[in-house]
Amino acid sequence: MSSTPTREIARRVFAQEFNDATYTFKESDDDRAPVYVLLPTGQRANRVFVVGTLTETDDVGEEAEYWQGRIVDPNGDTFFTYAGQYQPDAASMLRDLEPPEYVAVVGKPRTYETDDGNVNVSIRPESITAVDETTRDRWVVETAERTLERIQAFETETPDEYVQMAREEYDLPVENYRRSAVSALGKLQETAPSAD
Amino acid sequence: MTETDLRTHAVDVHEQFSDRLNITVDEVYDRLDTLVNEYKVPTTEARRSVINTYLDEAGMEREELSGGGGNEQKAIVDIDREEEWIDLTAKVVELWEPRSDAVAQVGLLGDETGTVKFTKWSKSDLPELEEGGVYELNNVVTDEYQGRYSVKLNRTTTIEALDEDIEVGDDAVEIEGALVDIQSGSGLIKRCPVEDCTRVLQNGRCSEHGEVDGEFDLRIKGVIDDGESVHEVIFNREATEELTGITLEKAQEMAMDALDTSVVADQMHEKILGRYYSITGPTLGRYVLANEFEEQGGPADAEAILIKARSM
């Protein structure tokens, strides 16, 4: 379209799959080329959109403020998000919000290797806003739908390059993610009807 | 065959190639004259033969040749190829300021099916089109730039004003998704007050008119993302007021109290970012203009997805 690079699509993914997405790659050698995490269902993600329950915020910084937020999806799995001085708006949201609260987060996936060799996946937020339950419910249904679509694409006989990459890099049955979609939708139905 | 008739043909043929070949009317006339008066070839055949000669010389295909009708009368929505010679019946929806002396007029043509940008070259020496006027445009050529089509009015184009009106279709698109970003240049902005300029000021300066006393306006440039595709969306003042509940007047008060216009955009972030919307409107460049929009309130259909998930 224009001379600016195409904007990265914000992927929809439940926390279980997101936290499993420990493999990262670039599409080119350019230093500024975007870094993608590879979702185990076979899609690259440079941005995610997440709506869940903010259950806890904590300033984990040593010298400067560095806020950690825990955002839980209907399955009880947790997205971790971290905002410091370079994400001032998101950091001040985490400082000011009083959990529990439904929040919408747009952000970049980041991976971090711990001393014991585990890879933690978190979100570096571009924005955090407080939203209502309707928005959360809509996100859950949408995320289930997108997850199922990825699983279908994963299981086709002519998989694309990211599916092939996922098959090589991960040893994680995608059936897990189908289950997490089913269970998230089930949780919604238990709490429904919320409309009055 | 009289000399005048032949000369008319010569002018006609010359007109068709004048963009591509350096020939004079007299040269064309001489060729026609030889065929008709020396070789006693019928005029239509002579004309055909001369045209073929010039087509060869110009390396053109007959389809590229202008004039003589034979073009397809096209609906604007059906324009899907470049370098196609077509006829349009269209209304001049908007005229824009030409950015170059080479361009006589530039703007938007519309018919019932949609709109398309047009350019009229100065050197083509065509009559002036009026905004709101409906015209029969014969022999315009299509062009494509970054996936968007336009039409060029050229020297061979004929323009006839029609005494009728066309209800222009708005080729609106409908998009749905979460509002994932509000871009800079949103909120309370100032526009250049010079007539027909309306550029957004950067630090009190208009890129065209320099330092000016701007006029306040509201707008939001946002990004709608459904997890599969992204669309950039513009909310004008009216739409922004309705979307955020912040009127222009209130926005100015807020900015005055804070001595900073950015408080307005900050408040807008809180009210709309991360919510789901459906938006309907025409596209303009890379943007969808949010003429109609709605926050998607009701719960989405979990049951259908659940059935799908269980059947996999």
Q: Is there a domain that residue A4 lies in?
A: no
For residues B213 and B280, membership in a common domain is answered with: yes
Q: Predicted confidence band at A112 (pLDDT cuts at 50, 70, 90)? A: very high
Residues 6+ apart with CB under 8 A from A182: A144, B306, B309, B310
Structure-block tokens of residue B95: 């005229």
Q: Is there a domain that residue B310 lies in?
A: no
Interface of A with B (CB under 8 A): 1-2, 7, 9-12, 47, 49, 51, 89, 103-106, 126-127, 129-131, 134-135, 137-146, 148, 151-152, 178, 181-182, 185-186, 188-189, 192, 194-195
Statement: residue B155 has pLDDT above 90: no
* Angle of helix B43-58 versus helix B25-33 axis, rounded to 10: 130
Chain A contact set for B270 (CB, 8 A)? 129-130
Mean pLDDT of B120-129: 91
Would you call B269 an interface residue with chain A, using a CB distance cutoff of 8 Å? yes
For residues B184 and B288, membership in a common domain is answered with: yes
Helix, coil or strand: residue A113: strand
Domain count, chain B: 3
CB contact under 8 A, B275 and A142: no
Statement: residue A195 has pLDDT above 50: no
Query: Who among A141, A194, A195 is closest to B300 (CB)?
Result: A141
Q: Is there a domain that residue B306 lies in?
A: no
Structure-block tokens of residue B225: 């993302």
CB contact under 8 A, B181 and A127: yes
Q: Give the mutation candidate from A44, A174, A182, A191 for the B interface (greatest B CB count, under 10 A).
A: A182
CB contact under 8 A, B306 and A145: no
CA angle B40, B59, B126 (to 5 degrees): 85
Q: What is the CATH number of the domain that holds A39?
A: 2.40.50.140
Residue B299: per-residue pLDDT: 66
For residues B106 and B147, membership in a common domain is answered with: yes
Q: Predicted confidence band at A2 (pLDDT cuts at 50, 70, 90)? A: very low
Chain A contact set for B228 (CB, 8 A)? 9, 146
Q: What is the CATH number of the domain that holds B267?
A: 2.40.50.140
Residue A1: per-residue pLDDT: 39
Closest chain B residue to the Cα of A104, Cα to Cα: B274
Q: Is there a domain that residue B312 lies in?
A: no
Residue B48: per-residue pLDDT: 80
Give the C-alpha separation, B266 to B269, whole Å: 5
Q: Is there a domain that residue B167 lies in?
A: no
Q: Is there a domain that residue B303 lies in?
A: no
Query: Who among B226, B286, B303 is closest to A1 (CB)?
Result: B286
Residue pLDDT, tens place only, B223-268:
999 999 999 999 999 999 999 999 999 999 999 999 999 999 999 9
Would you call B69 an interface residue with chain A, using a CB distance cutoff of 8 Å? no
Q: How far is CA B139 from CA A29, B151, B172, B310, in A?
A: 49, 10, 27, 58
Q: Give the mutation candidate from A3, A11, A106, A177 for the B interface (greatest B CB count, under 10 A).
A: A106
Give the predicted TM-score (pTM) of the model: 0.69
Residue pLDDT, tens place only, A114-165:
999 899 999 999 999 999 999 999 999 999 999 999 999 999 988 999 999 9
Domain count, chain A: 1
Query: Who among B225, B299, B309 is closest to A192 (CB)?
Result: B299
For residues B7 and B94, membership in a common domain is answered with: no
Q: Give the mutation candidate from A3, A6, A7, A180 for the B interface (greatest B CB count, under 10 A).
A: A7
Q: Is there a domain that residue B28 lies in?
A: yes
Nearest to B216 by CA among B245, B240, B193: B193
Please answer whether residues B164 and B112 qualify as being in contact, where contact means their C-beta atoms are separated by less than 8 angstroms: no
Q: How far is CA B310 from CA A43, A181, B197, B241, in A?
A: 22, 10, 58, 44
Count of positions (residues) in chain B: 312
Q: Is there a domain that residue A195 lies in?
A: no
For residues B141 and B242, membership in a common domain is answered with: no
Give the mean pLDDT of chain A.
92
Chain B contact set for A106 (CB, 8 A)? 180-181, 273-274
For residues B193 and B244, membership in a common domain is answered with: yes
Give the mean pLDDT of chain B.
87
For residues B42 and B15, membership in a common domain is answered with: yes
For residues B210 and B235, membership in a common domain is answered with: yes
Helix, coil or strand: residue B310: helix
Residue A148: per-residue pLDDT: 96
Please answer whether residues A44 and A58 qualify as being in contact, where contact means their C-beta atoms are separated by less than 8 angstroms: no
Q: Is there a domain that residue B85 lies in?
A: yes
Q: Is there a domain that residue A3 lies in?
A: no
The percentage of residues in chain B with a pLDDT greater than 90, rounded to a whole number, is 46
Residue B2: per-residue pLDDT: 66
Chain A contact set for B306 (CB, 8 A)? 144, 182, 185-186, 189
Chain A contact set for B226 (CB, 8 A)? 142
Which of B64, B88, B108 represents a domain boundary (last residue)? B64
Q: Which residue has the higher pLDDT, B83 or B132?
A: B132
Would you call B184 an interface residue with chain A, using a CB distance cutoff of 8 Å? no
Its domain, for residue B36, covers 3-64
Mean pLDDT of B149-154: 92
Which of B38, B64, B90 represents a domain boundary (last residue)? B64
For residues B100 and B132, membership in a common domain is answered with: yes
- Give the closest-approach CA distance of B112 to chain A in angstroms: 27
Its domain, for residue A179, covers 15-188
